């Protein structure tokens, strides 16, 4: 992914979630910011971080005023494991502390410039981009107890002062699975 374009406004959207309701930045944001994540069910990078991601999003919401939303933009015809029913099962299995929405047209991924799963976009209370980095340095490896919580630390900075860290390391993961047009 490209480096953080500080101050870029969050593109708006409204997409269906497995809970049967539409969600977007307006409904998912917290009083101090918003984390927009592009994830999917099948990616080994997402699978490897999901437990830590759920933990961090829950803590950011409950203690730092940062809301989160996850967007699934992959081509579900080519990757049926990422389908809506499978998204619902994953949301229930992990008791996700954020809406998990389907970007079937892939327009939201294009508007954000998302390129991989996972891909993170952290916004301040004014919905200005402040973080475009990774969760931590483990990639798809097993978590290490000493791994820095880079995303969490960045978003706590955003919550406290409205600005993300100057130094950010891009996320790594599977490429988004674009539909043939």
> Does residue 20 carry a pLDDT above 80?
yes
As to burial, measured by CB atoms within 10 angstroms (0-12 exposed, 13-18 middle, 19+ buried), residue 164 is buried
What digits encode the pLDDT tens for the residues 36-50? Answer: 999 999 999 999 999
* CA 4 and chain centroid, separation: 15
The residue among 120 and 181 whose pLDDT is bigger is 120
Give the separation between CA 106 and CA 85, rounded to whole angstroms: 18
**What H or E segment, with its residue span, contains residue 157?**
helix 150-161
Q: Is 25 helix (H, G, I), strand (E, B) or coil?
A: helix
Q: Please, which residues have CB within 8 angstroms of residue 89's CB and are 6 or more apart in sequence? A: none
pLDDT category at 95 given cuts 50, 70, 90 is very high
Burial 78-93 (b: 16+ CB within 10 A, else e): ebeebbbebbbebbee
**Confidence (pLDDT) at 39:** 98
Burial 40-58 (b: 16+ CB within 10 A, else e): bbebebbebbbebbbebbe
Q: What would the mean pLDDT of 59-71 be, rounded to a whole number?
A: 98
What is the model's pTM?
0.96
Q: What would the mean pLDDT of 75-97 be, rounded to a whole number?
A: 97
Percent of the chain with pLDDT over 90: 90
What digits encode the pLDDT tens for the residues 123-141? Answer: 999 999 999 999 999 989 9
> Does residue 7 carry a pLDDT above 80?
yes
């Amino acid at each position: 992914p490209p480096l953080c374009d500080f101050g870029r406004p969050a593109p708006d959207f409204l997409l269906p979630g497995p809970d049967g309701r539409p969600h977007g930045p307006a409904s998912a944001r917290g009083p101090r910011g918003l984390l927009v994540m592009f994830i999917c069910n099948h990616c080994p990078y997402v699978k490897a971080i999901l437990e830590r991601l759920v933990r961090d999003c829950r803590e950011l919401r409950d203690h730092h005023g940062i809301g989160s939303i996850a967007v699934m933009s992959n081509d579900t015809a080519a990757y049926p494991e990422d389908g809506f029913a499978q998204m619902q099962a994953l949301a229930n299995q992990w008791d996700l502390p954020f809406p998990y929405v389907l970007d079937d047209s892939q327009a939201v991924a294009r508007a954000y410039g998302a390129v991989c799963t996972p891909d993170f976009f952290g916004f301040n209370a004014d919905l200005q981009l402040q973080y475009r980095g990774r969760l931590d340095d483990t990639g798809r490896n097993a978590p290490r107890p000493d791994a820095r919580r880079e995303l969490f630390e960045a978003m706590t900075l955003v919550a406290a002062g409205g600005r993300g860290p100057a130094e950010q390391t891009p996320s790594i993961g599977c490429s988004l699975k674009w539909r043939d047009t």
